[in-house]
């Protein structure tokens, strides 16, 4: 089986920063069921519009979500490729795995 290419450390760090807040984790969980209108997210989370906008911006800046406008409504959806990169990274750095880093540090 070919070794997966790991995402850049800066991309992983941005993703982990985005996941470092419980509200953002909840948003990602809600979006895992499909695209959602910002008003629906606001209602489910009980968040103010300004606070929700902040969290969505962090997720969007990390490349984890995308938005689209339909009239006056904005809909958000997950960027599945970004989540797959995080999963690839997490799988590669499990205990007992080297993730290729040992070639630089100790192994040839």
Task: pLDDT tens for the chain, 108 residues: list them.
Answer: 455 678 888 888 999 999 999 999 999 999 999 999 999 999 999 999 999 999 999 999 999 999 999 999 999 999 999 999 999 888 888 776 565 655 555 554
Q: What are the structural domains, with CATH classification, of the chain?
A: 9-105 (1.10.10.10)
**Alpha-carbon torsion angle 78, 82, 85, 87, nearest 10:** -20
Strand partners, 74: 69
Q: What residues have CB less than 8 Å from 35, skipping those under 6 apart?
A: 75, 76, 77
The pTM of the full predicted model, rounded to 2 decimals, is: 0.81
Is the CB of residue 75 less than 8 Å from the CB of residue 35?
A: yes
């Amino acid at each position: 089986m070919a070794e997966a290419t790991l995402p850049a450390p800066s991309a992983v760090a941005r993703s982990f920063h985005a996941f470092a807040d419980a509200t953002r984790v909840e948003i990602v969980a809600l979006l895992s069921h499909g695209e959602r209108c910002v008003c629906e997210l606001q209602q489910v989370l009980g968040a103010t519009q300004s606070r929700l906008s902040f969290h969505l911006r962090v997720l969007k800046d990390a490349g984890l979500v995308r938005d689209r406008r339909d009239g006056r409504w904005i809909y958000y959806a997950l960027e599945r490729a970004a989540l797959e990169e995080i999963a690839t990274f997490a799988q590669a750095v499990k205990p007992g795995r080297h993730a290729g880093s040992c070639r630089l540090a100790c192994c040839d």
